[in-house]
Amino acid sequence: MENKNINLMPEELRSKEFNALNKGKQDFQPDLVVPGAQDEFKLKKDKGESGAKKKNPFWRRWFKSSADTKKIRRPEEPLLVRELKKNGKQVEEQPEKKPAPLLAEEPKDKKDEVKAIEQKSGQDFSMPELVLKKPAKQRVISTEDQSEDASKFHQPTSRVRARFIDEGGGVDLIPVSTKIRSWKQIIHLLVISVLASLGVLVLLYLVLFIQGARVENNQEAKVRTISELEEQILSFEKINQDINQDGQQIELVYNLLNRHIYWTNFFNLLEKYTVEEVYYNGLTAGNNGALTLDAVGSSFDAIARQLKILQQPEAIEFVTLAEITSAEFNDQGVEFSITLILNPDLFYYDNNE
């Protein structure tokens, strides 16, 4: 069977290609796909040229994100990219041929003649069969995706990219250092967040403390006002006590005036309830409110009329009880003693009058 994987490169280039493939990662070249590898190559190059490491400022050490280069694995280069690099390197490394001096040609036998190698037009390298046989990636759009795309806004379709970019995973414009954070940065962020939360708590505590102090001051002011009002009330109570004392004295004077015995009413009523044939010549007062009068009448009939008048209901304003204890007839007439129990309100001042 015919071998279709024909390599048209010269023998020297094929041997150099084989040696370059066996070297692996000894000859480092910048990666055209991964941005992190390009940054690493630039850093190494700058270090070789300057030889001195630049110090970052303090604030940058805390907030600048640094990638962990030990954990980054550079993807393998596609076969087509490696061949392009080799061919470019081989063309650069080929030394310039100096023109050989012209010498007289000696006649040669026909047997020793060697046919000159014909120069082939075109490229001096061959495309690998795997790359040629690899079909182009096509996106299959289902009916559901079409309906969803139709309902959404317009979205641009993916353009045709070069094969080496698709095989390498595409160009990522976001640096790896912004995606990956080291433990030091994580610890710094945690410390900052804890300090910020503590600061917020301290502010809240201060606000609550100030509010509590204001409330306590207001309560103290209210207590002071209440105590002042109580003192004023106590002073009013003293005044009230003085007023009560004065009122009691006034009441005593009023009672004394009302309980004062007025003999004027007694004599007026005695004259009112005494008949014309009787007159009085003596008076004796007792402790129980009884009163004994010594009287003289013209006859016993006059004494009987006098007793009847004092015992009638209208005389209750003057006496409540009237009795004749003894009676004796002589030259002047009939002498008798009459005992009277007077009405208690008789000798006091009447307010209704």
Interatomic CA distance for residues 21 and 32, integer angstroms: 18
Q: Which sign, positive or negative, has the C-alpha torsion 264, 268, 273, 275?
A: positive
At 75-122, the pLDDT tens digits run 666 676 677 777 665 544 555 555 555 555 555 554 445 555 555 555
Confidence of residue 33 (pLDDT cuts 50, 70, 90): very low
Q: Decide which of 3.30.980.10, 3.30.420.40, 3.40.50.300, 3.30.1360.100 is the CATH code for 263-346.
A: 3.30.1360.100
**Cα-based angle 138, 141, 147 (whole degrees, multiple of 5):** 160
pLDDT at 1 over 50: no
Radius of gyration of the chain (CA): 73
pLDDT more than 90, % of the chain? 12
- Residue in 166, 169, 167 with CA at minimum distance from that of residue 78: 167
In the numeric block, which tokens belong to residue 102? 């012209």
Mapped onto helix, strand or coil, the DSSP state of residue 296 is strand
Per-domain residue ranges of the chain = 1-91+162-181, 193-258, 263-346
Strand order in the sheet with 278-285: 278-285, 290-297, 334-342, 319-329
Interatomic CA distance for residues 327 and 338, integer angstroms: 9
At 171-199, the pLDDT tens digits run 666 676 666 778 888 899 999 999 999 99
